[in-house]
Amino acid sequence: MEFLEIIKALCEGFGKTLLLFAITLLASLPLGLVISFGSRSKFIPLKAFCRGLVWIIRGTPLMLQVLLVTLIPYYLFNVGNTTIISFFGIKMKSLLFVYASLAFILNYACYFSEIFRGAIEGMPKGQYEAGAVLGMTKGQIFRKIIFLQLVKKTLTPVSNEVITLVKDTALASVAGVIELYTMAESLVNEFVVLTPLFYAAAFYLIFNGLLTVLFAFLEKKLNFYKE
Amino acid sequence: MSYLEIKNFTKSFGGLQVLKGIDVSIEKSEVLTIIGSSGSGKTTLLRSINFLETPDSGQMLLEGELLFDAAKANQYSDAEIRQKRLNFGLVFQSFNLFPQYTVLKNVTLAPGLLAETSLKKQGLKGRELKRAVHERKLEIEKEGLELLEKVGLTEKKDSYPCELSGGQCQRVAIARAMALKPLVLCFDEPTSALDPELTGEVLRVIKELKESTNMTMIIVTHEMGFAKNVSDKIVFMAEGLVEEEGAPSEVFDNPKSPKLKAFLQGVNSEI
């Protein structure tokens, strides 16, 4: 019953992949929006910080960032992982997962922020002005007028990033997270067969297929208006 | 004392002085039309009146009360500016309708938000607030439909802007600006982005509005025939200054300034 065992293990790994994927998306999309605001801020230190952050994050490999995040507590604050585990009362496995999540969230937020910044800057000025002369607050203008147009404009580049993210989750292995890819690799070693790699590929492929369908659906939904 | 008085507005962009000290006044229910060649500062003046630009100097008085003073411009809070702005409505050259909302929603969005804010300020909360907002929104919708009827677009209430012609879009924009019941309605070249055959319907709507509502209006336009026909007063601007002003008959039939003469000759020399 080698096959079932392999599939069961891969499902477990895929669960981790899915969790990392979901957490990263849920946190990095709003964070990306916040960073894009910061990048456009008139307050120079904030703008410099955000642009600098985006430069560093986009300019270095995600794999390296994942590794660095796991090292920060010890090298910067001299706090060992065992101390953190006992302090929060969590398992080592969870801590490593948190590290990976943090690196992924920051990384993807920076990429998203640039997508949003480009779209915000490309938004016709007249939309803001029309809202302004109608007595709307800046917040209302953004929420009621700009936001949906922003979603529509950025849907395609965002979907690209989302699909990349599915595959990038494999890099969490650097932090010691046993997600789909790492699980497949260890199964190859354990059973001395190559099939787990093909099964893993199928998992990724099917999931990305579903996401592609989902984005096509959203695109169609947002086609109820044109600019 | 005039209804709206603009005193000594100046405005520079970079090194270029676009307004060099503009004085304009308008009486209640009057239609004031500003003409002049491109770059004369007409649009900047209109945008300044609507608080989209901040003049470097000058004052604006509404019904004798100081509404804007450039010397204190940086002391106004966002909320104050919003409040002051509501005295005016602005119809843009390029309509600037909200593409994701239906025609009716374009008209009712801003009044709805304002009503919600003011009801919240009255201290209403929870279900009570929800009910009050709902009731108010029904009224606003009714008013919106009346406005759409005025601009002749009742059937289009559920259409999206992308489904309309330019002329229809501009009529929606007019209804949208009217929905907040401004004291002074401003038009920034309302027909300049339209195909020639569509300008008529927009100009007709503006004229009907003047007749049916007695709305005070400031219109920047290149449509001289319309200006002559609909205006109580014409202001001719050139190089950031008011070069000549007066009743349409005076300005068009008996221009005094050489610049105005040259401008009118240029306009009339169409082949």
Residue A143 C-alpha, separation from nearest chain B C-alpha, in angstroms: 12
What is residue B122's predicted lDDT score, i.e. its pLDDT?
86
Is a pLDDT exceeding 60 seen at residue B151? yes
What are the DSSP calls for B206-259, one per residue? HHHHHHHH--EEEEE-S-HHHHHHH-SEEEEEETTEEEEEE-HIIIIIS--SHH
Give residue-wise pLDDT tens across range B16-56: 999 999 999 999 999 999 999 888 999 999 999 999 999 99
d(CA A96, CA A101): 9
Specify whether the CB–CB gap between B219 and B206 falls below 8 A: yes
Distance from CA of B94 to the nearest CA of A (A): 8
DSSP assigned state of B95 = -
Greater model confidence, B266 or B188: B188
Q: How confident is the model at residue A1 (pLDDT cuts 50, 70, 90)?
A: low
CA-nearest residue of chain A to B50? A133
A132 vs B: CB within 8 A: yes
Specify the higher pLDDT residue, B83 or B125. B83
Q: Does domain A2-224 have CATH number 3.90.1150.10?
A: no
What does residue B211 show for φ and ψ, rounded to 5 degrees?
-70, -40
Rounded Cα–Cα distance for residues B261 and B155 (Å): 45
Asked if the model's pLDDT at residue A195 lies above 70, the reply is yes
Separation CA B108–CA B143 (nearest Å): 8
- Chain B residue numbers touching A139 (CB-CB < 8 A): none
Residue of A127, A129, A134, A136 to mutate, interface with B, max B Cβ within 10 Å: A134
Nearest CA in chain A to B178: A134
Minimal-distance CA residue of chain B relative to A152: B100
The pLDDT-based confidence of A90 (bands split at 50, 70, 90) is confident
Question: Is the Cα dihedral B2, B8, B11, B17 positive or negative?
Answer: positive
Q: Compute φ and ψ for B146, nearest 5 degrees.
A: -60, -40
B86 inside 8 A of chain A by CB = yes
- The strand pairing partners of B186, in sequence order, are B90, B218
Q: Which residue of A has its CA nearest to B51?
A: A133
| Dihedrals phi, psi of B238, to nearest 5 degrees | -145, 130
| pLDDT tens profile B57-79 | 999 999 999 999 999 988 999 99
pLDDT at B203: 92
Please indicate if any CB of chain A lies within 8 Å of the CB of B121: no
DSSP class of B72: G
Closest CB to B98: pick one of A135, A145, A226.
Answer: A145
Average pLDDT for A12-20: 95
Of B229 and B106, the structure prediction assigns the larger pLDDT to B106
A167 touches chain B (CB under 8 A): no
- What pLDDT, in 10s, does the model give residues A152-177? 999 999 999 999 999 999 999 999 99
Answer whether residue B222 shows pLDDT above 60. Answer: yes
Q: What is the mean pLDDT of residues A66-87?
A: 86
List, for residues B169-206, the tens digit of each pLDDT value. Answer: 999 999 999 999 999 999 999 999 898 888 999 999 99
Q: Do A126 and B92 touch (CB under 8 A)?
A: yes
pLDDT value for A81: 82
Residue of chain B nearest A128, judged by CA positions: B96
What whole-number distance in Å separates Cα of residue B143 and Cα of residue A175?
61
Neighbours of A68 (CB within 10 A): 15
Tokens of B176: 């949208």
- Mean pLDDT of the region B262-271: 79
**Interface residue B45 vs chain A (CB under 8 A):** no
Q: B110 in contact with A at a CB cutoff of 8 Å?
A: yes
Mean pLDDT of A128-132: 96
- Domains of chain A, by residue range, sit at 2-224
Residue B223 phi, psi (nearest 5): -85, 95
B20 vs A215: CA distance, rounded Å:
54
Looking at residue B271, what is its pLDDT?
Answer: 54
On the question of pLDDT at A58 being above 80, the answer is yes
The phi, psi pair for A91, rounded to 5°, reads -85, 155
Tell me, yes or no, if A130 comes closer than 8 A to chain B by beta carbon: yes
B215/A contact by beta carbon, under 8 A: no
CB atoms within 10 A of CB A22: 10
Nearest to A130 among B96, B114, B160 (CB): B96
Inter-residue long-range contacts of B76-79, CB under 8 Å, 24+ positions, other chains counted? B78/A137, B78/A138
* pLDDT of A190 strictly over 70: yes
